[in-house]
Amino acid sequence: MRRVVVTGIGAVTPVGHNVNDTWDALINGKSGIDVIKRFDPFSYNLPVVIAGEVKGFDPKKYINPKDAKRMSDFVKFAIVAAKEAVADSGINLNSIDLNRAGVIVGTGIGGLRDIENQQTLLLEKGARRVSPFFIPSGISNMASGYISIEFGFKGPNTCVVTACATGTHAVGDAFKIIQRGDADIMIAGGTESAVTPLGIAGFANMKALSTRNDEPQKASRPFDAERDGFVMGEGAGVLILEELEHALKRGAKIYAEVVGYGMTGDAYHITAPCSDADGAIRVMEMALNDARVNPEEVDYINAHGTSTPLNDKVETLAVKHVFKDHAYKLKISSIKSMIGHLLGAAGAVEAVATVKTIQTGIIPPTINLENPDPECDLDYVPNESIEYPVKVAVSNSFGFGGTNASLVFKAYEH
C-alpha cells in the first residue's frame, strides 16, 4: 500500500494570510470574528451582522492584477493558499512528472458574491451588462482549474462540493488517488467566500447563525451551554499530499502522514444531524479502520464543533460511542471558536491545524468555553492552548445533506 504524507501547507483565514500568522493566532486564542466590514450589514436589516472575514487581503500582492479582476474571491483565496503550500513543500516543478500531479480544491458555495452582483446588473441594466467572465470566474471547480494552470499540474483535476465537509472530502479523496497510484502529488483543500448579504440572510433565516451581535468575539462558543449558532467565516486551506517515496527521493520535509479516511451519509435530514449520531459514529469508525488505528491510540480530535446546539451534542455523543472510556482521555478542540465556520474551507483549514498540532505538540484551544454544557463533558481544551504530544489525530467534518467525513493523521515514522 502506497503511503501518503503532507509536505506543504498553506492558509488564508480570518486571523492571517498565511499559516504562520494563522497558527500563532490560534494557539494564542485570538478571535478573528467582528462586525462585517465588506458591506454594511445594517443597511440590509440583517438579524446577524458578524462574521469571520479575511481582513486586509490584497490579491494584487499575490496574483497578476488582470487575472485577479476575473476571479471570484474564493478562487483568489485558494490560489494564495496553494502558492504558499507549494513553496513550503519545496517542489521543483521542473523535476517532477506534471502528468502525475493533480488538484482537488473544493468549495461549498463558490462565487456567491459574483452571483449577487451580476444578478443586480441584469435586473438594473439588462443582459448585455452581465460580464462574460461571470461563469468562468464563479463556478465551483475554478479554484482547482486556476491552480492546475498556475503550476502546470496535468493529473487528476476535480472539485468536491459537499457543504461543510468539502475540505475534508477533498483531502481524503486526494489521499486515495495517491494511495491507489493515480498520482504522486496532489494539491488538496477547500476555499470559501460567502460572507455576503444573501449568504448571511440565508443562514440567518434558517436560524443557524449566532445572533450575539454585541459580542462578536464571544459569539462562536463550541460546547458551551450558551452557544446559539455558528458564525460564518471565509478563507482557504491547502495541503500538498505526496507519495512517501516520491517525497523522500527529493528530500522533502514531512509534516505528518495521512493514514485514514472515512465518508458516510446520515440519510436522515437535510440540515440536522441524526440524534443518535449514527453517521458521525460510522465515519470515525471507517476512518480508524482504514488507518488500522485502534481508538485508544488517538491523542487528539480536531472537532467539527460548530457552536450549534445540536451539532456539538451529537459530535460529543459520537466520540463517546467510538472511543468509549478513552473519550475522556482524549484532547478535543474546535478552532471554529476563533475563526468561525469556513463552510467549504473549514475541513481543509482544520486539517492544516491538525498537521501543525502534530508537528508542534501544541493543541489550539476552544475559546469562549465558559459555561460547559452538561451533555458536552469531554476535554475540549478550554480557552488556552496546551503543550501535548500528539502522535495520532482525527479531524471531523459534517455537512448539510447529512454528509460526513473524517481524516486520520499520524506523526511520520520511517
| pLDDT of 264 above 90 | yes
Nine-digit cell string for 200: 448571511
> Which of 14-28, 61-75, 191-205, 340-354 has the weakest average pLDDT?
61-75
Q: Say which of 169, 246, 341, 376 is annotated catalytic.
A: 341
**Mean local confidence (pLDDT), 1-11:** 97
Domains belonging to the chain, first-starting first, are 1-401 (3.40.47.10)
| pLDDT of 385 above 90 | yes
304 catalytic per annotation = yes
159 catalytic per annotation = no
| pLDDT of 1 above 90 | no
Mean pLDDT of the residues in the chain: 97
Rounded Cα distance between 397 and 166, Å, is 8
246 catalytic per annotation = no
What letter does residue 233 receive in the DSSP assignment? B
Rounded Cα distance between 33 and 49, Å, is 11
Which of 209, 258, 230 shows the shortest CA–CA distance to 48? 209
User: Which of helix, strand or coil describes residue 240?
Assistant: strand
User: Which of helix, strand or coil describes residue 251?
Assistant: coil
| pLDDT of 116 above 90 | yes
pLDDT in tens, 70-99: 999 999 999 999 999 999 999 999 999 999
Q: Say which of 17, 169, 304, 376 is annotated catalytic.
A: 304
Rounded Cα distance between 195 and 234, Å, is 7
What letter does residue 378 receive in the DSSP assignment? S
pLDDT score for 414: 85
| pLDDT of 203 above 90 | yes
Residue matched to cell numbers 460529543? 316
pLDDT score for 117: 95
**Mean local confidence (pLDDT), 39-68:** 95
Nine-digit cell string for 262: 472515512
pLDDT score for 343: 98
Q: Say which of 164, 169, 246, 376 is annotated catalytic.
A: 164
**Mean local confidence (pLDDT), 133-161:** 96
Rounded Cα distance between 367 and 33, Å, is 12
Which of 83, 27, 5, 30 shows the shortest CA–CA distance to 333? 27
Rounded to two decimals, the pTM is 0.97
| pLDDT of 389 above 90 | yes
Nine-digit cell string for 308: 450549534
- Per cent of the chain over pLDDT 90 is 98
